[in-house]
Every structure is written in C-alpha cells, then in structure tokens.
Amino acid sequence: MEIPENPRIAIVGGGSWATAIAKILLETNEHINWFMRNIETINAFKELNHNPRYLCSVDFDLSRISFTDNLDKLIARSDIIIFAIPSAFLKNVVAKATRPLKDKIVVSAIKGMIPDDNLIIGEFFHQQYEVPLEQIVVISGPCHAEEIALERLSYLTFACDDTRVARLVSQLFNCHYVKTTISDDIYGTEYAAVMKNIIAIAAGICHGLRYGDNFQAVLVSNAIQEMERFVAAVHPIERDIKSSAYLGDLLVTAYSQFSRNRTFGTMIGKGYSVKSAQMEMLMIAEGYFGVKGIKEINDQYNVHMPITNAVYNILYERISPALEIRLLTEQLR
C-alpha cells in the first residue's frame, strides 16, 4: 500500500494502556483521534483534562484530541488505527463498525487472543476484516502503562510483514522515554505476548503460595524454553527468543508490581476463586482467556508445555493450586 506522509492517527480504547499510548503519541504528533465506548467517560475526560479512571496523573491538551464514541467516524477520519482494548471486548466493538478496515494500517496493542475463536489479533483482522498482513502491525515489548505515565525509559517492538510499515508506525512512538525497534515476526511476537501473561499468572500463583525467589527464577527460565518450543512449532522461522520482545516482555510481566496477570495469579494462589479475583480487579487479566486458547491450539501440536497446562488446570479444571504447583515442581529443571 502507499504509506501516507502525514498519517492521521487513531486510538480505540479507554483503559490504562490506551491512555499511555495517547501520551506517547502526543509527545511527537500534533493530533490524535480517540474512540471510547462510554460517552460519560469522554465527558468526564473533557471536564478533568485526564482519564477519570486510569493514569489520572497524566494531563492532556484536549485541543489536540478529537474524541468520539462512533467507531465509523473514527475509521473515516484515520489512516492508522491502534486498538488497545481487552481481547475479550474486541469482537463486539469492531462488529459495530460498518466502514471497511482493509485500506487502513491496523495496529494491535492487545496482548491477548479472541476468546473461543483462538485467534491472535492479527489473524482476527486478516481473516474477519480482510486487512492484508502487510498492513497489520503488532506492538510488543516490556512496557507497563504506569511507567509510561512516570516517563521511565521503555522499549517497544513493532512487528509487521512489511518492515516499511513497521518502521513508519514505530517512528510515531519515538520520544525521549520510548525507544523502538522493528521486526517481521508478527506471529511469534503475538503468541509470545499471550504466553507471557500465562506465565505471569503462574508466577503470581506461586507467589501467593509463598514460593520464593529461587523457585520463581527456575519457573521463568523454564517458561522461556516453553515459549520458544511453542512459537517454533506454530510459526517456525528464525528468531532470537532472548530479545526484549520475547524474554524482556516475559520478565517484566512475571516480576513487576504493575502486572495485572501476576496480581490475578497471586489472588488465586492465596485462595480466591477465579470469579472473585476477576470481580475484585479493576482491569482484565488477559492470561485467563489466553491460557484456554493456547491450550486448545497446542492440542494440535502436542508441544511439551507443563506451565501452561498447570495454569489451565487451576483456572478451568479447578484443581487445587497447591497440588497443581507441587506437581509442576517435579517437571521443572
């Protein structure tokens, strides 16, 4: 496709990651379009000059933002559309649009899968909305929204089949606290992003069960091997699993205080039911949906994935966390 010289940029989503992306983009771009489903949230944002629910410390220049709760209007006014909403909501949100997406650059900032369909986000837009793969960009890398709000140095990777498009989108995010790199591994980075959330849940469960740092190190070192086996099976290309898009993202999600998946896992390890943990958290733990999708995909490949299987058994088969993790410890080296 012909890449526009001064692309019109849009964000879909109203959560912490969408808000962090808006902050980054407005560092070096004059204007963004921003879709939120809830008109009350938009009105409160306009009144307060910040998101009323997430990253409230970040103030925005509202003259540089065009808000809308109409997705068709956003699509019509934008060349690059960045989706930053939980994967569980994506299907319903996009279904309300009547305008085509196949002539847009679609960027996924979603680290999850479409529940039940077992599709990573790039596959979803390619198969369901006929967006060419060379117009789909996936954002990955160790980057928490809370640290973006604090302007702490972060690194992001932009993956696309067409590296020209990946570079274009990456340049929109370059600022004094965000460094970017590009990749052509759209499948590997997406699957790795799903898996790191599963591992973070496992790390949280172990933390809740009072396993210490020594065991956590063994868990994560086994996890990167598990991730490498799986992505090599589903998309066998040459990649360096030790790079920040894979290992870096895994480490920060497994260890960070800001990791919602680790927090969710910790609650499960401490005895919360899945439902009660979900109700108490203000944000979605993508790994809950992701582990079911990865487990069902792996039924076709039969990759050795003891950590993924353990998390699945705890969350979906209601096996005792203490028992399941004790069994897992016998499989790790």
What is the secondary structure of 92-154 as a DSSP string? HHHHT--S--TTSEEEE---SEETTTTEEHHHHHHHHH---GGGEEEEESS--HHHHHTT--E
Least-confidence region, from 59-63, 140-144, 191-195, 280-284: 280-284
Q: For residue 246, give the nearest of 286, 199, 189 by alpha carbon.
A: 189
286 contacts 111 by C-beta, under 8 angstroms: yes
Q: List, as residue ranges, the binding site.
A: 89, 111, 145, 260-261
Return d(Cα 242, Cα 303) in angstroms, integer: 20
Encode pLDDT of 299-322 as tens digits: 999 999 999 999 999 999 999 999
Q: In sequence order, what are the residues at sequence separation of 6 or more whose Cβ sits closer than 8 angstroms to the Cβ of residue 62?
A: 45, 46, 49
**Residues 108, 114, 117, 119, CA torsion sign:** positive
Q: CB under 8 Å to 231, separation ≥6 — which residues?
A: 187, 188, 191, 192, 195, 239, 241, 246
Q: Is the pLDDT of residue 283 over 80?
A: no
The per-residue pLDDT for 3 is: 72
| 136-140, strands of its sheet edge to edge | 65-68, 32-35, 9-12, 80-83, 105-108, 136-140, 154-159, 178-183
**Active-site residue flag, 196:** yes
Catalytic residue among 46, 73, 102, 196: 196
The confidence score (pLDDT) of residue 284 equals 86
pLDDT of res. 257? 87
For the 7-183 domain, the top CATH level (class) is alpha beta
Residue 152 is predicted with a pLDDT of: 97
Residue carrying the six token digits 């809740």: 208
Residue 121 confidence (pLDDT): 97
What pLDDT, in 10s, does the model give residues 232-246? 999 999 999 999 999
Query: What pLDDT score was predicted for residue 185?
Result: 97
Residues annotated in the binding site for substrate, as ranges? 111, 260-261
Measuring CA to CA, which residue among 133, 131, 138, 77 is closest to residue 100? 131
Quickly name the fold that domain 186-328 has.
N-(1-d-carboxylethyl)-l-norvaline Dehydrogenase; domain 2 (1.10.1040)
Q: Got the DSSP string for 242-304?
A: TSIIIIIHHHHHHH-TT-HHHHHHHHHHTT--HHHHHHH-SS--HHHHHHHHHHHHHHHH---
Tell whether the model's pLDDT for residue 282 goes beyond 80.
no
In angstroms, how far apart are the furthest CA atoms of the chain? 58
Binding residues for NAD(+): 89, 145, 260
Structure tokens at 256: 């960070």
Residue 137: beta bridge partners?
A: 107
In tens, the pLDDT along 119-148 reads 999 999 999 999 999 999 999 999 999 999
pLDDT of 4 above 90? no
> In the numeric block, which tokens belong to residue 57?
């410390």
Confidence of residue 218 (pLDDT cuts 50, 70, 90): very high
Rounded Cα distance, 167 and 182, in Å: 6
For residues 230-252, one letter each, b for 16 or more C-beta atoms within 10 angstroms of the residue's C-beta and e for the rest, the string is bbbbbeeeebebebbbbbbbbbb
* Whether the predicted pLDDT of 161 surpasses 80: yes
Provide the pLDDT confidence category of residue 2 given band limits of 50, 70 and 90: confident
- Which residue has tokens 């069960």? 209
> What whole-number percentage of the chain has pLDDT above 70?
100
Give the list of residues 6+ apart from residue 5 with CB closer than 8 angstroms, or none.
Answer: none
Bridge partners (DSSP) listed for residue 107: 82, 137
Q: What is the mean pLDDT of the chain?
A: 96
pLDDT reading at 278 higher than 80: yes
d(CA 101, CA 103): 6
> Which pair of tokens denotes residue 322?
């203490």
| Domain spans, the chain | 7-183, 186-328
